[in-house]
Chain A
Amino acid sequence: MRSIAKVFGRSPFVPLQMHMEKVAECVKQIPDVVAAYRREESETVEALRKKISRLEHEADALKHDIRNSLPRGLFLPVERVSLLQILSLQDSIANRAENIGVLLTMKQARSFPGFDDRFDDFLGKTIETFELARSVIDQLDELLETGFGGLEAQTVKELTDMVAYKEHEVDVIQGVLLRELLAHEDEVSYGDFFLWTRILRQVSSIADRSERLAITVRMTLETS
């Protein structure tokens, strides 16, 4: 018992990455559920919605586990606030994925020519943004190894810039989609219009959260 081993606490970084993996699984379901929605296979949509909810729930359990394993006496190389912020941002992304699934089970909304393709572009860019942010989280191991400085910090800075750029692209496409929706306001029912705008907001919010995630990690870097 007079052992040096007691000095070492339980590292929250590996669980954090595991949590992000679960979130990624949620996000990966979105294109599938959108595709099923377009094919008007409401049963498949419902099944996928359930799957996303289950994954989100698993991520939630991990989140609570991480929060509980951060006692006061634990000293971390990253500020506790940043760590909890990263965790809650990751969590909010899983929530957005779940919301999209739920929204798609509400009603079979109609679209118009050209909308679907642009929406795919929009979704694709959003997922790219998320994947980049995820790669930032994956760099945490190396950041820890290099003491949050040096080349590894440089890599994370560059990645963060890329995330920000992608997020900007997503914003631009969202604007275009909204303009198109408004241009077709006579053909789109009030309910459909409402639903689409809600979906757009949820999707773009994933990109937005991803950017903030990358920026939060960036803030932990050594500034030398």
Chain B
Amino acid sequence: MMESQFHIIITLAVIFGFYMAWGIGANDVANAMGTSVGSGALTLRRAVILAAILEFSGAFLVGSHVSETVRQGIVDPLIFTGDGMSFMLGMLAALLAAGVWLQWASWKGWPVSTTHSIVGAIVGFGVAYGGLSAIHWDKLGTIVASWVISPLLSGTISYFIFRFILRFVFYRERPLQSAKRLAPYLVFFVFSVLTLALVFKGLKNLNLDLGTPAAFAVASGVGLVASLVAVWIVSRMPEQERDRRPGGNQAITNPATVQALEKAVKHLEKVQSTAPEHMQSKISDALDNVKRLRFESQKSYEFHTNTAEYKSVEKLFVYLQILSASMVAFAHGANDVANAIGPMSAIISVAVAGGESIAAKTPVPLWVLALGGLGIAIGLATWGWRVIETVGRNITQLTPTRGFSAEIGAATTIVLASKLGLPISTTHTLVGAVLGVGLARGISAVNLITVRDVVVSWVVTIPAGASLAIIFFYGLKLVMW
């Protein structure tokens, strides 16, 4: 009897877990990749393929940290000792509750987070079973604090990265040249952070668990190689048209010079109209010379004021944004996969142990992580690409330099949270990052009302998820017991 019940519960857990992963791939990845599609850094097709690979890698390689937290960090598994069934049913109820709540919220158009829903639901069944003391309140406090801190942190990082780009690229005499010089350093940063996230106390599953010095050494090594590749690519990029013209290095004419030459022409014309006969030919020669000078200076001045150079900078940043988008996809996979497979792996580990040894700390099985990653990829392929397209169409204001800044800020924050095992909302983190770029005067109009939406979602989702989980928990108990 027990055996068949386990089978039913495991099957249900896998189905619901997979469904949650599918939903993350279908809806949430759009926020991570939409920025790149919107800025034109990636075509839709490439974005989907890249996201599928990196989301899977993130989930598979680094996803276990946050999954551990969701699995046993919020509710104390010890209180279920001897009653593994309730724990399994509770986790199943949490999955169900989060799924239903998300469905309802998106139907209503509320900006709620998958992460918040699942955390709320787990808190709900924990309280229902073991009372208030069943919850690791300190851990929950850390998690909730991280929801507030993560958008602030990503916004701050993005703000400074964008100010940095403004200062060292756009405020320079030759923006494109400066951008080319800066690119390898940015590449170094992206690759080092990503590698560090992977190797520092990560990859336990692959026996690649390095300590601090070794991890930093490996990270900077990878970063160095990547930046050398970047140097090579940048050197092969075509120079600005202007530079190839003869005398191109003096092409920038000070507007004041243009203005002064204009005045000179006027004064010479005045001289010409009043000067005596014998001076006329010399004056008209001088006038012709000055007029020619004025013409040339005006031409170079006009050329300078057109947007060609800034466009080239953006084109260069298209490549960098592919990197930052990859980083976001990776980080997103690492953090959000836990929402789906955290409860699922909790159920499975109890079931495998025969419904008893809950306290035993077993790692999240690899195949479960893979299943979560796969679910995300399938969600992306079946529905997510549509959402990415829609999101991308709506955020064309985000040019590659802005997109890069926002994505780096968000990705760094998410990677950090994932390493700390904190389940945060990727969407909110990205919203914070975009606001950061906006505050740095990078975006033509930023809607601050979204901040209110984000805060409302913090307040509403936990009680809603918790209440639903309690209902489902007792419902399931009635059916299964």
Contact = CB atoms under 8 A, between A and B. Distances in A.
A165 B30 CA distance: 52
A145 B112 CA distance: 33
B446 A74 contact: yes
A6 B434 CA distance: 11
B172 interface: yes
Interface in B425-477: 427, 430-431, 434-435, 438-450, 452-453
User: Which of A142, A145, A154 counts the most chain B CB atoms within 10 A?
Assistant: A145
A134 B343 CA distance: 61
Contacts of B35: 4
A159 B307 CA distance: 16
Interface string A1-22: 1111111111111000000000
A75 B106 contact: no
Given A4-B31, A7-B435, A146 B446 contact: no
Contacts of A4: 30-31, 34-35, 391, 395, 427, 430-431, 434
A49 B234 CA distance: 57
B11 interface: no
A150 B170 contact: yes
Nearest to B307: A142
Interface string A175-192: 000000000000000000
B336 interface: no
A155 B441 contact: no
A2 B113 contact: yes
Nearest to A140: B444
User: Which of B28, B112, B171 counts the most chain A CB atoms within 10 A?
Assistant: B171
Interface in A42-60: none
B34 A77 contact: no
A139 interface: yes
Contacts of B69: none
Contact of A149 (B106, B109, B170, B259): B170
A19 to B, nearest CB: 15
B197 to A, nearest CB: 22
A154 B305 CA distance: 10
A145 B255 contact: no
A121 B397 CA distance: 43
A73 B307 contact: no
Interface residues of A, number: 40
The SS class assigned to the B binding surface is: helix
Contact of B27 (A2, A71, A144): A2
A161 interface: yes
A66 B253 CA distance: 36
A170 to B, nearest CB: 15
B175 interface: yes
Interface in B65-116: 105-106, 109-113
Contacts of A150: 166, 170-172, 175
B478 interface: no
B399 interface: yes
Given A7-B431, A150-B172, A75 B446 contact: yes
B442 A147 contact: yes
A7 B434 contact: yes
B124 to A, nearest CB: 21
Given A4-B395, A75-B435, 8 more contacts: A2-B112, A3-B387, A5-B34, A6-B111, A7-B446, A12-B445, A75-B446, A151-B172
Which 8 A-B pairs have CB atoms at the shortest separation, nearest pair first? Answer: A158-B255, A9-B445, A11-B444, A5-B394, A77-B441, A150-B171, A73-B449, A146-B170
Interface of A: 1-13, 71, 73-77, 139, 141-142, 144-152, 154-155, 158-159, 161-162, 165, 222, 224
17 contacts: A3-B391, A4-B34, A4-B434, A5-B391, A6-B111, A7-B435, A8-B446, A75-B438, A75-B447, A139-B305, A141-B307, A142-B305, A145-B170, A145-B310, A146-B310, A147-B171, A158-B259
